[in-house]
Structures are given as structure tokens and as C-alpha cells.
């Protein structure tokens, strides 16, 4: 990865050159250096495997240039260059940005304010992981595999000739650094972060059992601790769920654990809580800004600085302070994730009143606290325009219940611990979603977890209103949850819900 002084030095040189260009009314140089190291876990007892597959890294560094012409404040162009932080590369980017310039009447100018940030923003909150080597990642990845195999052997006293043991998942270490400066700032702004995430799935196909374990963290000590327990935990959960029941399709009361709630928030709610979604008229909360959109006990916040979350960011990829965005307070929609462009676009939209709705304040404000340039992971990249993305999404509630109380509230029903492939089946605005119950789930009887539920037995068809508008119980303790492919991490409670439609999936009957 590029060092902070190297990136800072390039931005400084670039700004000096750009400030001499008479045709420019404004400019911004953004540099990023990122690394995503991954060890994929793949042990299969009855199929040849390598244990750890694709032990790999993806490294990317480069810079993006945005210009505004002096002749027209709405004429803007951009270009990105990979791999080369030189003045020659900057000249090439400048020529490209000039060629690509367009007049966008809605372009609000480059993000501004505050003109200067405190230098403390440069300190890394995660120095250990920024320096971690492959040795550590390899040792922890194989520790997870070894831990899972050991736990399986210890728990399964009778040897099975073909258990169909599958240990899958990954251990990922994500690190990034950014530096940004421009005509609209008085200082150069630098940020860096590192975190790890691991998701481990254990299947024992002969027992129709599946269990998962996940971890995120920001220190090497957390990583080592996670390695010691993840494989063992996944196996333990899988074996607790062997030979699950297959109840009939129907309408059930359910408890949804943190992972399903995170998944539904990730695919159904968070994409609707952006200024871009309201501008595009495709938010599930269209026309409802300022109104109750969830149960009055819910609060929803995105916080890139919380110590509770794995993602730590001090500035956005637009150079603005990355601070918490309060999205929902006591069930009422109060804020939206936003980048600079989308915030201005919505605020100046002639149909704003209709898009936000009658209960929106007459002078709404959408601070651009969420303008990140991300690729296919949560690492910050140099190319692409800033989107509006969350970081650590935290759902909390007042008056929460213990897990025992949630189960008692349901009495007879299903505990859903993991869902999969949750998509807005009729478009984001409709709020309808479908997914399948893929593991970590139980049948609830007499207010207790009575028996495991067979994985992949139920398809769930519902609307976000059924989940968040009228839960019959809310968990007291929000817990971390990962969603595959999501740039955000989630800290959310379990919920008890009434009248959820579950349809049965036919057996694959391949055997």
C-alpha cells in the first residue's frame, strides 16, 4: 500500500499544478490505496478440496481528479488514473477530465465546508491490522479449518463413513488509506482504516445440518481470538440443528434473529434511506419523510465512528467529516444517507415536496456524511463517483425483551436465525421481499426452542411493513451481523413478528 506521506505529497504537488490552470474554476484530487486480503475456506470431507482456496490479495491505488471549468460553474469533468502518482499522470488525467466535461445544470460545485479539519483525523484507529502480514492470515484461516475438524470429531463419537462435512467461508482483511485536497479546502485530508471480517459455514449433509459463525474486528488480538472459536462454533451450531423438522406451509408468528434483520435492512431498508432513492422516486418511504415509518420503539443510525462497529472512518471520500447520520428516531424518518451531489439535487428538485411528502420540514437538511467511493468490498477506491453508503448501521429500541421473552411472545412459531437471497421482488418502492430460511433456525413450541428447523425448507414472502411497523416484540440487545457482499456492518436486535407467510420448498431429491 502507498504510505500516507507519499499520498499527501502527490496531492500537494497536484494541487500546485492545478491551481496554475486558468481554465479551471475548481478542482479536487482524491487518492486511495487499498488492499483486500482473503483466505477462502473450503474443506469438504467427501469431495477433494484444498482447505484454503484462493489465498489472495487485491491491491489498488490511484487517484481521481474532478474539475470545474472557470467559464461555467456547472461544467464539470472527471478522470481516474490507476497505479501512478506522478505529475505526468496528473497531466493525462487533466486532459481526460477536460475531454469528458459536461454541463450538468444540477451540479452543485465541489463539496465544501469546513475549509479546515483537525489533524487528529489522520491517526489510524486500527494500526495493528494495517501492518498484519500473510503469516497471520494463513495461520488463522487454517486454525478455523483445524478447529472445525477437531470439534466435529470430538462431537461425533461414532465415525460416519460419509458425513458430507463442508466447512466454507472466508477470512478477509480490508485496509485502505485516502488523501483528498482541492480548491475548496484549505488543508489536505487523510484517513486510513483496517478491519477483518470472517464468516464460517459448517454443513453436515448426512445430518441435513447447517450452522454459521461470524466475526468482525479491528485488532490482531480480535482476529486471533476469532480464529480460535469460529470453526468450533459453526460446527457446534450445525450439530445442534441436525435432522430438522419440516413444518407445513402457513402463516406463523416468528422470531427473527439479528442476521435476518440485518439482511432485510441491507437489501430493503437502507437502499430506501438515501437522498438518491427519494430523488429517483424509488424509496419504500417515498412521500413519508418526517412521518412514522417504523414502530415508535425503533431508532436507526449509521455511525462510521462508533467503537462498536468494525468500519472506522473519519472523513468521507468527498473529504467531508464522516459522522453519524440519524435515520429513524422513535420510528419517525428523520434523515437520509447522502453524498454531496444527491443532497443538493433533492433539495433543489422542483418535485421535492411531493417526493419527501407533506410532513417533511420546509427547509430540510441532508448533510453529506455518506459519500464513499467503494468497489466490490468496503475498501475505499480511487475510481468511480461517490455514492451514498452506510458504514456501521445500528438499530436500537427502547423497552426491549430478552430472548426468552421474545420466544414467549411468539409461543408457537418459528425462530428464523438465517435467511438468504433477500431481494425486493416487486421493486424497492413496493417494499415486498422474498427470501429463504437457510439455517440456524428452530421450531418454537410453548415459548421455547423446541426442535431444529430443516435448512432451506421455507420461503418467506413479506413486506418491510410487517417486519418494522408492528413487531410484537423487540430484542433488548443489538448484536453484530454480517451480510455477504454488503459494504456495511450491522448491529441489530432480534424481533418477534406476527402473521408471516412461509411457503414450503420442495426437496431437491437429488439422492
Partner 1 sequence: MASSRKNRAADDGFGAIGFLRAAAEPALRRFLRANRGATYAEMRFEASFSRTASAVDGVPRDAAESANAALGVRVHCAAPGGVVGDGFTGVEVGRIATSRTKLAAALQSALAEAFDRARCSAREQTALRRTAPAAVVKALAAIGNVEPSTERAEVAATFRRDPRTLDPAELGRLCRSASAEIVGLGSDVAYNAVAALAELRHELFVNTAGANISQAFAFSQGDCYVVAATADGHQESYDTIGQQRGFECLADDWRDELTPNPGLHRFAVELARETREVAAAPLLKPPEGEVVVVTDPHFNALIAHEIIGHPCEADRALKMEAAYAGRSWFLRSLEHNEIGRPVGSPLLWACSDPTLNGYGHYLYDHEGTRGRRVTHLEGGVFRGFLNSRATAAALGVEPNGSARASEAWHAPLVRMSNTFFMPGESDPARMIAEVDRGYYVCGHLVPSIAESRENFRISARRVYEIEHGRIGRLFRSGSVIADSKSFFRAVDAVGNDLRLVAIPNCGKGQPMQVKRMSNGGPTLRSRARLGGG
Interaction residues for partner 1, span 56-85 (CB under 8 A): 56-62, 77-84
Nearer to partner 1, 186 or 511 (CB): 511
Contact (Cβ atoms closer than 8 angstroms) between residue 504 and residue 437: no
Site for partner 1 in 274-293 (CB under 8 A): 279-282
The residue whose grid cell reads 497505479 is 83
Site for partner 1 in 453-492 (CB under 8 A): 455-456, 459, 461, 484-485
Residues 6 or more apart whose Cβ sits within 8 Å of residue 64: 29, 30, 78, 79, 80, 93, 373, 382, 383, 384
Report which of 239, 236, 213 is spatially closest to residue 226, judged by C-alpha positions: 213
Site for partner 1 in 349-368 (CB under 8 A): none
For residue 234, give the DSSP letter: H
Number of residues that bind partner 1 (CB under 8 A): 110
92 binds partner 1 (CB under 8 A): yes
Give the residue ranges of DSSP H helices in 3-133: 4-18, 87-100, 127-131
Q: At closest approach, how far in Å is the CB of 82 from partner 1?
A: 3
Task: With contacts defined by CB under 8 A, name the span among 140-148, 255-263, 328-336, 409-417 that binds partner 1.
Answer: 140-148
Task: With contacts defined by CB under 8 A, name the span among 50-58, 119-127, 238-246, 394-402 that binds partner 1.
Answer: 50-58
Task: With contacts defined by CB under 8 A, name the span among 163-171, 222-230, 288-296, 311-319 that binds partner 1.
Answer: 163-171
DSSP annotation string for 117-143: --GGGGS-S-HHHHH--HHHHHHHHHH
Among 154, 353, 425, 499, contact with partner 1 (rule: CB under 8 A):
425
377 binds partner 1 (CB under 8 A): yes
Site for partner 1 in 392-421 (CB under 8 A): 420-421
> CA-CA distance, 196 to 95, in Å (whole number)?
39
3-state secondary structure of 384: coil
Among 28, 122, 170, 303, contact with partner 1 (rule: CB under 8 A):
170
Residues 6 or more apart whose Cβ sits within 8 Å of residue 234: 148, 167, 169, 200, 201, 202, 211, 212, 213
Report which of 180, 172, 171 is spatially closest to residue 147, judged by C-alpha positions: 171
Task: With contacts defined by CB under 8 A, name the span among 182-190, 357-365, 374-382, 399-407 that binds partner 1.
Answer: 374-382
Binding mask 229-268 for partner 1 (x = CB under 8 A): ----------------------------------------
Amino acid at each position: 500500500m502507498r504510505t500516507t506521506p507519499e499520498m499527501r505529497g502527490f496531492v500537494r504537488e497536484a494541487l500546485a499544478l492545478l491551481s496554475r490552470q486558468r481554465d479551471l474554476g475548481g478542482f479536487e484530487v482524491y487518492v486511495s490505496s487499498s488492499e483486500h486480503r482473503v483466505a477462502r475456506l473450503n474443506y469438504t470431507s467427501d469431495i477433494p478440496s484444498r482447505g484454503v482456496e484462493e489465498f489472495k490479495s487485491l491491491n489498488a491505488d490511484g487517484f481521481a481528479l474532478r474539475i470545474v471549468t472557470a467559464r461555467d460553474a456547472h461544467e464539470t469533468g472527471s478522470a481516474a488514473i490507476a497505479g501512478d502518482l506522478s505529475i505526468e499522470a496528473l497531466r493525462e488525467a487533466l486532459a481526460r477530465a477536460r475531454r469528458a466535461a459536461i454541463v450538468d445544470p444540477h451540479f452543485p460545485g465541489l463539496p465544501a465546508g469546513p475549509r479546515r479539519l483537525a489533524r487528529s483525523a489522520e491517526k489510524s484507529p486500527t494500526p495493528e491490522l494495517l501492518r498484519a502480514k500473510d503469516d497471520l492470515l494463513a495461520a488463522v484461516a487454517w486454525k478455523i479449518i483445524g478447529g472445525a475438524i477437531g470439534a466435529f470429531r470430538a462431537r461425533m463419537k461414532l465415525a460416519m463413513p460419509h458425513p458430507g462435512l463442508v466447512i466454507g467461508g472466508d477470512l478477509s482483511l480490508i485496509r485502505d488509506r485516502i488523501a483528498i485536497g482541492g480548491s475548496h479546502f484549505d488543508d489536505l485530508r487523510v484517513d486510513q482504516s483496517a478491519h477483518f471480517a470472517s464468516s464460517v459455514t459448517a454443513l453436515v449433509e448426512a445430518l441435513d445440518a447447517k450452522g454459521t459463525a461470524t466475526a468482525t474486528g479491528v485488532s490482531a488480538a480480535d482476529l486471533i481470538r476469532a480464529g480460535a472459536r469460529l470453526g468450533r462454533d459453526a460446527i457446534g451450531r450445525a450439530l445442534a440443528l441436525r435432522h430438522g423438522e419440516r413444518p407445513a406451509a402457513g402463516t406463523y408468528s416468528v422470531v427473527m434473529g439479528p442476521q435476518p434483520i440485518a439482511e432485510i435492512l441491507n437489501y430493503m431498508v437502507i437502499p430506501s434511506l438515501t437522498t438518491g432513492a427519494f430523488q429517483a422516486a424509488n424509496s419504500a418511504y417515498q412521500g413519508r419523510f418526517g412521518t412514522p415509518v417504523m414502530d415508535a420503539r425503533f431508532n436507526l443510525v449509521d455511525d462510521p465512528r462508533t467503537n462498536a462497529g468494525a468500519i472506522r472512518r473519519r472523513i468521507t471520500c468527498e473529504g467531508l467529516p464522516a459522522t453519524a447520520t440519524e435515520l429513524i428516531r422513535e420510528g419517525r424518518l428523520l434523515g437520509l444517507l447522502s453524498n454531496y451531489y444527491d443532497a443538493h439535487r433533492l433539495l433543489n428538485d422542483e418535485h421535492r415536496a411531493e417526493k419527501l411528502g407533506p410532513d417533511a420540514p420546509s427547509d430540510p437538511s441532508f448533510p453529506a456524511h455518506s459519500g464513499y467511493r467503494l468497489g466490490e468490498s468496503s475498501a475505499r477506491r480511487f475510481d468511480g463517483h461517490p455514492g451514498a453508503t452506510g458504514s456501521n448501521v445500528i438499530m436500537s429500541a427502547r423497552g426491549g425483551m430478552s430472548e426468552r421473552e421474545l420466544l414467549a411472545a411468539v409461543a408457537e412459531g418459528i425462530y428464523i436465525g438465517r435467511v438468504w437471497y433477500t431481494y425486493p421482488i416487486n421493486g424497492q418502492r413496493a417494499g415486498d421481499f422474498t427470501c429463504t430460511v437457510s439455517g440456524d433456525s428452530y421450531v418454537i413450541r410453548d415459548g421455547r426452542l423446541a426442535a431444529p428447523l430443516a435448512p432451506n425448507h421455507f420461503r418467506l414472502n413479506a413486506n418491510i411493513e410487517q417486519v418494522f411497523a408492528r413487531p410484537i416484540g423487540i430484542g433488548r440487545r443489538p448484536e453484530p451481523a454480517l451480510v455477504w457482499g454488503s459494504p456495511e456492518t450491522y448491529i441489530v436486535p432480534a424481533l418477534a413478528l406476527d402473521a408471516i407467510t412461509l411457503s414450503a420448498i420442495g426437496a431437491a431429491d437429488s439422492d
